[in-house]
């Protein structure tokens, strides 16, 4: 009999590519992970993981088992959801990891909605960058992620996850007030090729958007300054330190002293935002209302296009 807990460990090793990283994500010791993997190999009669200088990778047998593990674990999530629904006291805690703008735009208003419609549900919020929350869901550190599309993100048909599209939004150009293009109604990214740039750090999904937009415009941007805080990005632009592309919602309510904000000419770079849960958990009687509330807020109040 294969132990489902060991299947979760196998998936964590496949996701994190080292035993040490998988152990940290699961709040276990590396030796405990190694012991559980050895027990799983004994249960199956196959070598499942190969360790090398570059980390750990699944064998062909490991990949076969992983494909079944994704189905089994999703079904267990559904079983937990149905049992919770059967127990029906719809009261409990849901943990949500979301990036700062997503918290302000959809999650915080959703909490207000839930306080009225589902007062028994307590939501605990953790601030996490747009590329960090999905791994937290897969590692069972949180129940729900509010995330953005990024390079290396799990594909839409990833069998480990269920996605709920929330919204998409364009990036606007933020220029110093005395910039040569400040008087234009729209700004072409290609016209900023010779400017110094301000951007989030590499690894931040918004950094990837900036890089791709510039690549499509035919140049590699010259990054002079970096911050993951868009207030700092705008302040630097206001100090004539460079130009930036910033998601439109991040500029809401912000002090825009010393800068002008202009739409990007043509097909603007876009940030697509979605909620994600472990596949099978989307019907859980605690999680479903949270997803529904965020989706309703995104439709009714965000004023942005659906993702």
In the block, tokens 């999650």 appear at: 107
State residue 88's pLDDT score: 58
Question: pLDDT tens digits for 253-281?
Answer: 888 999 999 999 998 899 889 999 999 88
- Choose among 132, 167, 158, 161: nearest CA to 277: 161
CA triplet 31, 35, 39: central angle to 5 degrees?
Answer: 170
Record the pTM: 0.69
CB 223 within 8 A of CB 136: no
Backbone angles phi, psi at 141, to 5 degrees: -80, -30
State residue 123's pLDDT score: 95
Residue 265: partners with Cβ closer than 8 Å, 6 or more residues away = 186, 187, 188, 189
Low pLDDT (below 70) residues in the chain: 85-90, 301-307
Distance in angstroms (rounded) separating the CA atoms of residues 117 and 110: 10
């Amino acid at each position: 009999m294969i132990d489902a807990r060991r299947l979760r460990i196998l998936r964590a090793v496949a996701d994190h590519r080292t035993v040490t990283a998988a152990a940290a994500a699961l709040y276990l010791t590396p030796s405990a992970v190694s012991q559980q993997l050895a027990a799983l190999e004994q249960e199956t009669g196959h070598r499942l993981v190969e360790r090398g200088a570059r980390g750990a990778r699944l064998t062909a047998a490991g990949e076969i088992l992983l494909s079944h593990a994704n189905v089994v674990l999703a079904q267990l999530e559904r079983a937990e959801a149905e049992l919770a629904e059967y127990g029906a006291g719809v009261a409990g805690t849901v943990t949500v990891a979301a990036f700062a703008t997503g918290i302000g735009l959809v999650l915080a208003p959703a909490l207000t909605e839930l306080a009225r419609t589902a007062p028994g549900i307590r939501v605990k919020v953790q601030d996490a960058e747009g590329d960090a929350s999905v791994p937290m869901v897969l590692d069972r550190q949180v129940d729900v992620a509010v995330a953005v599309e990024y390079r290396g993100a799990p594909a839409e048909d990833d069998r480990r996850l269920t996605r709920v599209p929330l919204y998409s939004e364009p990036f606007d150009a933020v220029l110093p007030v005395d910039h040569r293009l400040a008087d234009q109604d729209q700004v072409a990214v290609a016209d900023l090729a010779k400017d110094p740039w301000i951007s989030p750090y590499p690894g931040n999904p918004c950094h990837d958007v900036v890089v791709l937009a510039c690549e499509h415009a035919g140049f590699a941007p010259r990054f002079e300054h970096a911050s993951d805080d868009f207030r700092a990005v705008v302040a630097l632009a206001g100090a004539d330190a460079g130009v930036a592309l910033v998601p439109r919602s991040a500029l809401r309510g912000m002090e825009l002293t010393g800068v002008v904000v202009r739409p990007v000419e043509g097909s603007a770079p876009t940030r697509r935002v979605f909620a994600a849960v472990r596949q099978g958990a989307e019907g859980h009687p605690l999680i479903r209302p949270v997803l529904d509330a965020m989706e309703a807020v995104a439709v009714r109040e965000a004023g942005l296009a659906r993702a």
